[in-house]
Structure 1
């Protein structure tokens, strides 16, 4: 990896840098927004959640899908009911398979722009396949197709996030964390009290950007992110951020601490950086500690135990892993931004040739034959 550059994008002039740093303020704006819209939102959700047969499905594509992966794990624990994550890419490709059960569905759709081809197609296919569908749309773009199609729909509620979260940079940063926080608070509004703690935790990470960037001084050839429960979805999102902002020049992988031993661990060498997201759950945390100790014995100084003793994040005590993920995401965003700059990429547009786009291109939606 080249030494740090002095390009303009290395400074705060890039949108990506600004959007990473705006997250604490965006979360506070979200809290204020939910205070205003909360009664209407709860009026929409309450009768649905009273139905024992309701299937709650969280859906999105790419980073938006990882919002669902994290939130579904967290909400299952606290709501003590069925909540699942199903990517729009899977729903669109196999609607009859993934929605095979004849149950009413609350489809929670995430979209930064709301213009991805699969986003609207997933809502339409759910209507076609499931016996009854209600829609909660969480989006950052009032002008997006997803918002426009559902704003006046009779069984839909559109939760439009603060305007600044419609990230203009290539990679989703503040849009990701704010959508994640939004869905957690939508289903559990009493947890809004955690917003200040999350903002303080993220600010502590933002203030340590030089320390995070210094992890790149050893020029890692690849990075692995590990996490369990809700933090496994964060590990996947963290890996994607590095791939996106470095245009794939630094391979990134993700797994759970236990699953990593079953073959994937073979990629670790002295040029591999491993980041283990520390769980708050005392039982799960034992497995985090085990893999950290094992890797450090084999590859000293190549392991970061994020949110634990060696890389603590003040303010997260008492918060569950779903909420912790909101703040911990800043670590991977900063690491990816630093790697992008060092490699001479342009973080706001890592693919100037158009081979990969901010809003996915080239997807053709096929009609589902009636059966």
Structure 2
């Protein structure tokens, strides 16, 4: 059931969980869609009164990878719902609550959290309750043992959605949990989309089954720096992709991210003959033109084969190595992201094994942890909130 073909990674000690969790994603997405369909009446009874308010602010938040899921979903949901949707990391909210909660408007705080035990994730919901007059909570999490689940599962102004059990990753890097929470966020707030889920799962399975040889070739080419570029929702995906490679290689491969337009403004300094650039190409016709421009420019600056595109639409320039996922050509970029990120996940896994690391635990010394440690949450006084009295 959980296979990654054309590869011996299943046999590599210390990679079993990460391998399984990458490979299982198509199945988890299908299960997620069924789970949400079964709970649709409950979810809509919670959301409909909130979404009926024209002044509602929707705020997607999480820490690290979970925050990047929010940054991918927010632009798509703003377009679907025709309303304001913001994505702000809990790591920003907690340190600067009075800035990000400056507008005391009705707010739906959507918390995405694998474990629900990150100090910032739990603190963010408490600060929202403290600072805002009218806030409701939608919690998307993978663990019913987490504090976020325990704090909110029986509160009247909270709705908690538990991901399928398989999505609660055991490996160090978030893979299944990331894509499943992102997909859930899109389906819960944007509405069911069985056709999209089916196309995503089918394409992802094909990608997993067929792409190992190409991934191994990229890894064996000797690149020491990898850059991920994307626009709009795919800019958030580029950020998550760079983090995945950085985590799985324990920082031994330099990984960077940027938008297709932003990369020229200084970050191009990272380029050298050992740099690999992956460009996530938007399906939006206007946005896509900027992605294609940076591909053409980088091809003149780097050795042949060092610029790779991932696209749902065929590129007119046939000389660019491309993962062409044509089954997804009708989907919004946010729905492309869970499939596109498989390339980064597989690349990170292959690099990790190539470097002799253990992907399930790239930091055996514990200097980086699955759930962040050492964070001290400082209390916010009534004077600081402006509510003294």
1:263 and 2:269 aligned: no
Matches within 5 A, 1:82-97: 82-97=84-99
Matches within 5 A, 1:126-275: 126-207=128-209, 208-275=211-278
Matches within 5 A, 1:306-345: 306-307=310-311, 308-309=314-315, 310-345=322-357
Query: 1:52-82 CA distances to partner (integer Å, 9 max, x unpaired)?
Result: 1111000000000001000001111221210
Superposition TM-score, scaled by structure 1 size: 0.96
Superposition TM-score, scaled by structure 2 size: 0.92
Cα deviation, residue 194, structure 1: 1.0
Q: Secondary structure at the match of 1:215?
A: helix
CA distance in 2, matches of 1:211, 1:63: 26
For structure 1, the residue ranges without an aligned partner over 5 or more in a row are: none
CA distance in 2, matches of 1:61, 1:338: 26
CA distance in 2, matches of 1:13, 1:277: 26
1:350 and 2:362 aligned: yes
Cα deviation, residue 9, structure 1: 6.1
Determine which of 302, 308, 321 is the counterpart of 1:304. 308
Query: 1:186-208 CA distances to partner (integer Å, 9 max, x unpaired)?
Result: 01223232111000121122121
- Are the counterparts in 2 of residues 9 and 347 from structure 1 also a CA contact under 8 Å? no
Query: 1:314-370 CA distances to partner (integer Å, 9 max, x unpaired)?
Result: 321100100000111111000000000001111000000000001111111110011
CA distance in 2, matches of 1:252, 1:9: 27
CA distance in 2, matches of 1:305, 1:360: 33
CA distance in 1, matches of 2:99, 2:324: 43
Q: Aligned in 2, Cα 1:341/1:51: closer, same or farther, shift over 3 Å?
A: same
Q: Secondary structure at the match of 2:39?
A: helix
Q: Aligned in 2, Cα 1:286/1:166: closer, same or farther, shift over 3 Å?
A: same
Higher RCO by CA contacts (8 Å cutoff, separation 6 or greater) = 1
Further displaced range: 235-244 or 94-103: 94-103
CA distance in 2, matches of 1:23, 1:8: 16
RMSD: 1.5
Cα deviation, residue 142, structure 1: 1.1
Cα deviation, residue 7, structure 1: 8.3
CA distance in 2, matches of 1:262, 1:13: 38
CA distance in 1, matches of 2:48, 2:338: 25
How many residues get paired?
Answer: 367
CA distance in 1, matches of 2:175, 2:276: 22
Matches within 5 A, 1:35-46: 35-46=37-48
CA distance in 1, matches of 2:348, 2:82: 35
